[in-house]
Amino acid sequence: MTATVHVPPPAPAATVDVLVIGGGQAGLAAAYYLRRSGLTAGAEYVVLDAAPAAGGAWQHNWPSLRLFSPPEYSSLPGWPMPPYPEDGYPPASHVVDYLTRYEQRYALPVRRPVRVQSVRRADGDPRGRLEVDTPSGAWSARAVISATGTWGRPFLPRYPGMELFGGHQLHSADYVGPDGFTGRRVVVVGGGNTAAQLLAEISLVADTTWVTLRPPRFLPDDVDGRVLFDVATARRRALDAGGPDTGGVAGLGDIVMVPTVRAARDRGDLVPQPMFERITPTGVVWSDGREQRADVIVWCTGFRPDLAHLVPLGLRGPDGRIPTVGTRARDEPRLHLLGYGDWTGPASATLVGVGRTARAAVADITALLSGGEGGIRTHGAV
């Protein structure tokens, strides 16, 4: 005789109109516009965030990180970032505080910690629902905004001999400050702002070597986030008006000369070397045979979009990204992507820039849903 095993039926999926994945700045900007469209928080739209606390990636950056811009150039829609009392450029903790209060101010319905594992089509109906799976239960939505950022996917290139290195290797995502580096020989890899800023503080306590794939491009000393924003805005306006592409900020350079980076340059600590060829148990070796002994290698080699939950939708292009038209996934109109990089809209991965793309995404979603069968009601202007 076989025993009867009672398997309880799966809990029904919680149903909303719009589900936002990720509660960092991009997810909150989207929620702000969903709220403004008149949808009911919690019942008609919800934000699921994997992190236990508010603040997105800003909670994890190294403690001395400062914004490139003063608060008035670092604001989400609706409520400007409060001034930072000490000087113009706030630390990451100020952003965490701002995002925490932003979420409270607008009573945004953020559920955390809830990590979305997958987004799937409920059936073959292109106007049907998207099913969203999490460890604490399933959700069903008519549209999804993915705003999961890049922090969860640090990128580490492969170099011959990497696994043989006898010292310590870390990605900038795991950097917490220069204390553990005192008196050591440190190789910093990367040609961007993170490498320059980490080098600026590590070189105060350690013997540093800076290697970059391409010669680093320093911005003029007087160019900060304000100027970059103005240049990006001018480019967007020119493109919107059908004018030629002015090239935007990419033409200006990469590394913002924040005070610590300027000081490192003036001390002679910002001298780049070309990329090494391989790693040995005791250091790194260039193609001409030159060797540098090292105790630590710090990889400031960036991040990739954190999109694993979208794999079941089969939308990725050959470059690993999901092709978009504006913020909308080209091949799945019920899905929008916010943040990640310029490919989801100009400056979408910045505090000041994400509002514009969030607004466009929500306008597109409300139009899509209002036009559909049983479409949602939108009670106000987006």
Q: What residue ranges bind ligand FAD (CB under 6 A)?
A: 21-27, 48-51, 56-58, 61, 65, 67-69, 74, 115-116, 147-149, 151-152, 194, 225, 306, 309, 339, 349-352
Q: Write down the least CB distance from residue 249 to ligand FAD, Å.
A: 12
Q: Residue 251 burial (CB < 10 Å; 0-12/13-18/19+)?
A: exposed
**Cα separations in angstroms, 237 against 119, 190, 233, 298, 343:** 35, 32, 6, 39, 17
Nearer of residues 209 and 301 to ligand FAD, judged by Cβ: 301
CA angle (269, 273, 278) in 5-degree steps: 125
Q: Write down the least CB distance from residue 215 to ligand FAD, Å.
A: 21
Nearer of residues 74 and 324 to ligand FAD, judged by Cβ: 74
Q: Write down the least CB distance from residue 199 to ligand FAD, Å.
A: 13
Nearer of residues 152 and 178 to ligand FAD, judged by Cβ: 152
Please state whether 189 falls in left (phi above 0), alpha (psi between -120 and 50) or beta.
Answer: beta
Nearer of residues 225 and 355 to ligand FAD, judged by Cβ: 225
Q: Write down the least CB distance from residue 375 to ligand FAD, Å.
A: 26
78-82: long-range contacts, CB 8 A cutoff, minimum separation 24: 78/32, 78/102, 78/106, 79/105, 79/106, 81/351
Nearer of residues 56 and 283 to ligand FAD, judged by Cβ: 56
Q: Write down the least CB distance from residue 9 to ligand FAD, Å.
A: 25
Q: Write down the least CB distance from residue 197 to ligand FAD, Å.
A: 7
Q: Which uninterrupted H or E stretch holds 20?
A: strand 14-21
Nearer of residues 284 and 329 to ligand FAD, judged by Cβ: 329
Which residue type does 13 have?
Answer: A
Q: CA–CA separation, 49 vs 359, rounded Å?
A: 20
